[in-house]
Structure 1
Amino acid sequence: MNAKFTRLILTLFLIGNIGYSQKDNSFNIKKQLDYCAEQASKTLEVIPNDGTSPRTVANRSKDWEFVNYKDWTSGFWPGELWYLYEATRDKKWEKEADKFSQFLKPLSVSKANDHDLGFQIFNSFGNGYRLTKNPEYKDIILKTADTLATLFNPKVGTILSWPHNKYGGHNTIIDNMMNLELLFWASKNGGNKKLYDIAVRHAETTMQNHFRLDNSSYHVIIYDYETGKKIKGITAQGYSDNSMWARGQAWAIYGFTMVYRETKDQKFLDFAHKLARVYLDRLATEDLIPYWDFNAPGIPNEPRDASAAAIVSSALIELSSYTKDATLKKEYLTKSEKMIVSLSDHYQSHDVNSAFLLHSTGHKPAGSEIDCSINYADYYYLEALLRIQKIKK
């Protein structure tokens, strides 16, 4: 079957089986994108002119909490603005995206404080360069990739996540998989070729050490600095060290899917399928929006995590494009789209606040950001909408 015919079949499946057609108005992607633009416009009106960006709206509040460029979530807001520019080609969004991206520029010339430089710089300047080819953006990305690489420990084989953490040892968190994309991109766009090797080594070491026998992910792995030996696994933001924290598994699915895209190494694709399998098989909610931890003891009275659903939905769309198994492809697309429809129909913020989504959970064990709106949920929700739109076209 040739690629053109495959795309045709996939498009027909999406339109006919999932109900995205304009005829029955069951799910209108443009309507959701317009909603995101409207909400973002409201947020722009309340952001102080002090170099900060919106991160969280607490439960039962209308007011954003703002953070400076050093916060690990600082790249998601400018990333959303770049996605809105991609969706609309309205210069308003390009101008605002550039403005909020520029606030993050000092990260490219500062000492690395943690692994989140990919989230911060690639979501902002990375999307900006993809859409505008502004050479200034490229220079910032390349400098930041070199900075991130300074956290790599060759004895361990991973990038250090938290240099100032409380656990001791060389720690690596599953979120770090997402930041490898910055290194892959830089290695292929004028940066040091060793960045590619660092990213691959990190992914291989993580694949070997970061997962339980059932392919569920720990949040944190502690390694010995000198020997590289794995000491223990911790699930800091989940219910317990042996529980499956929803967003951690989401980062893993997305991260290994991305690593396959960048390397075309079959072992990473096979592993991404395994990670998706345990997530989908254990996802017991009817609307496919997970509880914050799959093993939380108070289910069904535990908070949901819309951010995990948005991340997984976006990842499954990409993962579906890499499988030749028609049944598996259909499952990924069907469930991904159901997640997006559920988020759109039942989790949007509307008049509650100016974020896109409600009901995300950041760090429940610490009592932080529980059942609230969070910028990274909005970012991946918008990304998933754009990915679905591209499939339709």
Structure 2
Amino acid sequence: MFRVSFLFIILGFTCLSCKSEDKNNVAVAEENNVDDLLLARYDKLLSYKLDSIAFPRSYSHEIKEVKKVPSKDWTSGFFAGNLWQIYKLTGDKNFKQRAKEWTNFIEKEKYNHRTHDMGFKVFCSFGNGLDVEDNQNYKDIIVKSANTLITRFNENVGSIRSWDFGKDRWQFPVIIDNMMNLELLFEATKISGDSIYHKIAVKHANTTLKNHFRPDGSTWHVLDYDSISGQVRNRLTHQGFNDDSAWARGQGWAINGYTMVYRYTKDKKYLEGAEATANYFVNHKNLPEDGIPYWDFSHPDIPNISRDVSAGAIVASGLVELYKYTKNDAYLNYSKKVVNSLKSTHYILPENLEIPFILDHSFGDWSKRDEMDEPIVYGDYYFLETLLRLKNLD
């Protein structure tokens, strides 16, 4: 009787061990499949045809067509940035070479004074390239671009003008997105030794910190200023659901932007600003379990509206850096959750789809009803940046 019972115990442990091993093998296989799928998606970017006037911006599932834009478009720098980041992740020099080629197409934008998006275009491309290699030409282009950008600064307002369109709606518009362009200015001071870029970046950050934030930590999208008195004329939105809503991607720009400003200044008021919006975001009652937000937290039709992968990725990237300064585990946990969610077949595009993007389900411009629930290049950019930041953190 004892020997029979003992045999059953041994068999029982053996079976449990087999089940545990099977689960581990399945988990490893699934992870390998995800990694293989990611690598396959990376190759779609590498094989995309070079064209100096056709930067890939998004993909329409409806008409099955890649939307291509010239270098003047605010998104043009992301594709080259994606290639630079894939090179950093993989070490594959083919991505480095292709990144250089796409980056060179953007150089003429250093003279474009009609846009505030110099950071998105020039720093996401040339800045990433400079992070890979010490290239004097890249440094010169960054400084020249900073010179061009500060021509849009208004001393009365204390900010860089965002848009030149919409004069029937605003006089001097400043959008929360503009915080992301300040990195170019901070770096221009580091490169050149000229403090003017740093000083203007700080003035812009201070004006935005004073006027863009609500008491609950969320932010407005657009502030309209009087260009003479510098006073706030109106607070409104252009891409959110309504003027008082919390547009998800806008919260991401605030978190990422103010964390970056703290990196360059070490002024705690910027860290506190980033934390206020980060806490609003990660603790919001309408944030889905997988961490990928709806495109606007205030939309009355939640949960029957689109998610925004780009907003989740932007916040995840910013929170990895914010975690470095605060050691708040909630920030790191959110970033890891988003990465785990995005590294699934629900969000990663299938291998057989021949387009130069990695992720699906980003949300573009509500005001134009454009690029809603599609692969968009900046969703990929901040996903890759999050992977890199987590890798460097480890």
Give the alignment's TM-score, normalised by structure 2. 0.88
In structure 2, the partner of 1:9 is none
Contact 1:68–1:74 at 8 Å: present in 2 too? yes
After superposing the two structures, state which structure 1 stretch, 56-65 or 378-387, moved more: 56-65
In structure 1, the partner of 2:332 is 333
Deviation at 1:48, TM superposition (A): 5.5
Q: Distance in 2 between matches of 1:146 and 1:27?
A: 49
Deviation at 1:382, TM superposition (A): 0.6
Contact 1:79–1:124 at 8 Å: present in 2 too? yes
In structure 2, the partner of 1:158 is 159
Q: Distance in 2 between matches of 1:158 and 1:26?
A: 51
Contact 1:122–1:141 at 8 Å: present in 2 too? yes
Contact 2:52–2:105 at 8 Å: present in 1 too? no
Contact 1:62–1:353 at 8 Å: present in 2 too? no
Deviation at 1:134, TM superposition (A): 1.1
- 1:236 matched to 2:235: no
Structure 1 residues 158 and 33: CA distance shift in structure 2, 3 A: farther
In structure 1, the partner of 2:11 is none
Structure 1 residues 340 and 270: CA distance shift in structure 2, 3 A: same
In structure 1, the partner of 2:305 is 302
Q: State the AA in 2 paired with 1:245.
A: W
In structure 2, the partner of 1:368 is 370
Q: Distance in 2 between matches of 1:251 and 1:123?
A: 14
Consecutive unaligned residues in structure 1, runs of 5 or more:
1-20
Consecutive unaligned residues in structure 2, runs of 5 or more:
1-23
Partner secondary structure for residue 369 of structure 1: strand
Q: Distance in 1 between matches of 2:206 and 2:319?
A: 21
Q: State the AA in 2 paired with 1:156.
A: V
- 1:291 matched to 2:290: no
Structure 1 residues 285 and 94: CA distance shift in structure 2, 3 A: same
Deviation at 1:335, TM superposition (A): 1.3
Contact 1:187–1:194 at 8 Å: present in 2 too? yes
Structure 1 residues 295 and 134: CA distance shift in structure 2, 3 A: same
Q: Distance in 2 between matches of 1:211 and 1:94?
A: 39
In structure 2, the partner of 1:116 is 117
Structure 1 residues 352 and 93: CA distance shift in structure 2, 3 A: closer
2:271 to 269, 272, 276: 269
Partner secondary structure for residue 213 of structure 2: coil
Contact 2:77–2:103 at 8 Å: present in 1 too? yes
Partner secondary structure for residue 100 of structure 1: helix
Deviation at 1:157, TM superposition (A): 0.4
After superposing the two structures, state which structure 1 stretch, 47-56 or 65-74, moved more: 47-56
Deviation at 1:88, TM superposition (A): 2.1
Contact 2:306–2:372 at 8 Å: present in 1 too? yes
In structure 1, the partner of 2:318 is 315
In structure 1, the partner of 2:148 is 147
Contact 2:256–2:315 at 8 Å: present in 1 too? yes
Contact 1:53–1:67 at 8 Å: present in 2 too? yes
- 1:227 matched to 2:229: yes
In structure 2, the partner of 1:72 is 74
Task: Indicate the percent of aligned positions where both proteins have the same amino acid.
Answer: 44
Partner secondary structure for residue 362 of structure 1: strand
Contact 1:181–1:259 at 8 Å: present in 2 too? yes
2:198 to 196, 199, 203: 196
Q: Distance in 1 between matches of 2:279 and 2:48?
A: 41
Contact 2:146–2:184 at 8 Å: present in 1 too? yes
Q: State the AA in 2 paired with 1:183.
A: L
In structure 2, the partner of 1:383 is 385
In structure 2, the partner of 1:16 is none
Q: Distance in 2 between matches of 1:361 and 1:34?
A: 26
1:9-34 Cα offsets, whole Å, 9 max, x none, are xxxxxxxxxxxx99953985x97666
Larger radius of gyration: 2
1:276-305 Cα offsets, whole Å, 9 max, x none, are 011112143111111110011211110110
Contact 1:36–1:382 at 8 Å: present in 2 too? no
Partner secondary structure for residue 150 of structure 1: helix
In structure 1, the partner of 2:342 is 343
Q: State the AA in 1 paired with 2:339.
A: I
Q: State the AA in 1 paired with 2:72.
A: K
Partner secondary structure for residue 227 of structure 2: coil
Structure 1 residues 23 and 319: CA distance shift in structure 2, 3 A: farther
Q: Distance in 1 between matches of 2:100 and 2:59?
A: 23
Partner secondary structure for residue 120 of structure 1: helix
Partner secondary structure for residue 305 of structure 2: coil
In structure 2, the partner of 1:214 is 216
Q: State the AA in 1 paired with 2:369.
A: G
